Structure 1
């Protein structure tokens, strides 16, 4: 048999040498179960190309290829369908039973490594020793200028609750290939427009900011490392909604969903530390925070950081979850982030687009819902791994 090489693809999920090495392993695996007259090389090329096409990153490619080789060995070279790979295989026409242990093994294989987490904005250090000082005292009494993340105006944090004119566009501009200029989807204004709306289609009475460093976040509330919390092994999908307050960008709702039962195990409105400036209701879905019906940040941590819920042994699933863990002030090691695993070329895909592509479900058609988003992330991962979305009974 001559040397087989991987097919060229427009978008390469991994370097050529890695794909070449994987292809040779597939060939050797097939040759163990197929007779000398069969064309193991040709079939291996097709199988490797199938894996490469459905992998959005080097990490997902390595995982998908390892699953393929495992299934080839398990089924003695027979798969449910050409080019398929996943947790389920068919032997003698009967599907193997999908077990919790098998799913756990597959999830552990795609945990994001520390350097990748750090590169994507996750706090992987330990800032838990920083004392909580509160946002007002953290700002100090001296003037502290920052840039409004909505309108780009410079303003003094100390005067954040003073009336101001913050004019901005609700959505980011996108490049229109036909007109060859930037265009704001929220109002249709273009970057070349000279109308009043060109400055922004929405005006609010306060500027807002967002802490950019872990140290700045810790000045309001310290980070907690979940490695200090012992507990049961579990898999949880989570999503947060955030608002702008006098302290910056804060958590106002947290939803946690159990991966295996698909049940919502926590869903609460959370009181922020600062005075609310903008609840971002059109995106967060939160219109009011009633202290009698919501929980404090400290109480929320007490309820979710324990041996039954989020702990050192938990696998946490989310989409762009660095934002969620940062507002939760949590440091966690076992992370599966679908935005990292399944990017769109050089950019991260939106959960809305990824959900429709993976499971043909439409989400975020109106206001965001952290419960819907947490479940959607879970659906995407299950679909990618070949896990039935409706399965809730496990051996």
Structure 2
């Protein structure tokens, strides 16, 4: 009789008790589906051992073991039916992956286009009003002292945004707090501090020398650059996934990188660092992945638009795909009608699902483990949508 216990390794990725608990869950799952003909214990030890060997830390072990348990349940214990994470199963009859006609994929995409009213409710500029036609109002927004004082979106301190480059102490938490059901209080993921903490770090685990803000209305956004309606740009029928990285500048919240990926070929068709209008205050490198903006290696905002707003890229006939893409289109200053937003397609109560969670839950894709990458995010969003519609994830040749 086999003694069911975790296999011994030179380097343990997690404490013995945690590994033992995971092993027992694997055994129970296999027994539930009777997938091992009475050898659940041996099979479970093998599977858990494989997870332990490829895990370099306790955190990665927990993640990999959760993937294993999820896949066991998904396949009813028959892991051999799974290819690499995020890849559709092989067609058993033909011996090749399933494929789909391009016309069928386009029909499926058409069914999940977001209605104009829903876009407007989710922060998209739908062109309801001409935001670029009142220069007097623009001047008023820039100079009227009533509009100068605003709350810093990181530490909530009121400050004069015309003095944004003056030294200040901005102390804040890098990540938002989450509710801990066990302790029944808020907990900041970035540092572990709680809302009831009285330590110095409770005020924030990071300090920066300037406060920051972001425009809240389309009218304010248009004071930096006008919105452009893509309805007036004639061009090819195409499907594109896009993602932007943003930074804080003296003029607010601006785009510093844009990536566009073709839906059908999965090829990156545009990727560039973009120079903001204002003076950089914080590149948000830990999230944006951008550490410097060199003029010789980047584009101006206008040059970027001249390249992406055209017949064979973004135009009136384009279907644009993104996650929480209202933020991307607002920093691009674009009004577009054909939108598919995975944050809207996958609602989570009154909150929106994070792309990181969706990518893992839907296609077993692990992203945003460190600095963000707009190309990785755009591709992950595309994969999540394909999985939802039953479109083969890795198909690049279409009939």
TM-score normalised per structure 2: 0.73
Inter-CA distance 109–118: structure 2 relative to 1 (3 Å threshold): same
Match of 1:334? 338
1:93 & 1:281 partners in 2: Cα distance?
A: 45
Match of 1:259? 263
**Candidates 363, 367, 378, aligned match of 2:367:** 363
Contact 1:319 1:339 in 2 (8 A): yes
| Helix, strand or coil at the partner of 2:372 | coil
| Helix, strand or coil at the partner of 1:175 | strand
State whether structure 2 residue 274 is matched by structure 1 residue 270: yes
Match of 1:99? 101
Match of 2:143? 140
**Candidates 106, 111, 114, aligned match of 1:112:** 114
Q: What displacement does 1:131 show?
A: 7.4
1:274-313 equivalence runs, <5 A: 274-313=278-317
2:334 & 2:363 partners in 1: Cα distance?
A: 30
Q: Which residues of structure 2 form unaligned runs of 5+?
A: 1-90
Match of 2:253? 249
Matched residues, number: 309
2:121 & 2:337 partners in 1: Cα distance?
A: 14
2:227 & 2:104 partners in 1: Cα distance?
A: 33
What is the root-mean-square deviation of aligned Cα atoms in Å? Answer: 2.6
Q: What displacement does 1:363 show?
A: 0.4
Inter-CA distance 377–132: structure 2 relative to 1 (3 Å threshold): farther
Inter-CA distance 93–392: structure 2 relative to 1 (3 Å threshold): closer
Inter-CA distance 95–302: structure 2 relative to 1 (3 Å threshold): closer
TM-score normalised per structure 1: 0.74
Q: What displacement does 1:127 show?
A: 3.4
**Candidates 210, 232, 237, aligned match of 2:236:** 232
Match of 2:125? 123
Match of 1:151? 155
Q: What displacement does 1:150 show?
A: 0.3
Match of 1:172? 176
State whether structure 2 residue 188 is matched by structure 1 residue 184: yes
Q: What displacement does 1:361 show?
A: 1.0
Q: What displacement does 1:348 show?
A: 1.1
Q: What displacement does 1:130 show?
A: 3.8
Q: What displacement does 1:344 show?
A: 2.2
Q: What displacement does 1:129 show?
A: 3.5
1:280 & 1:97 partners in 2: Cα distance?
A: 40
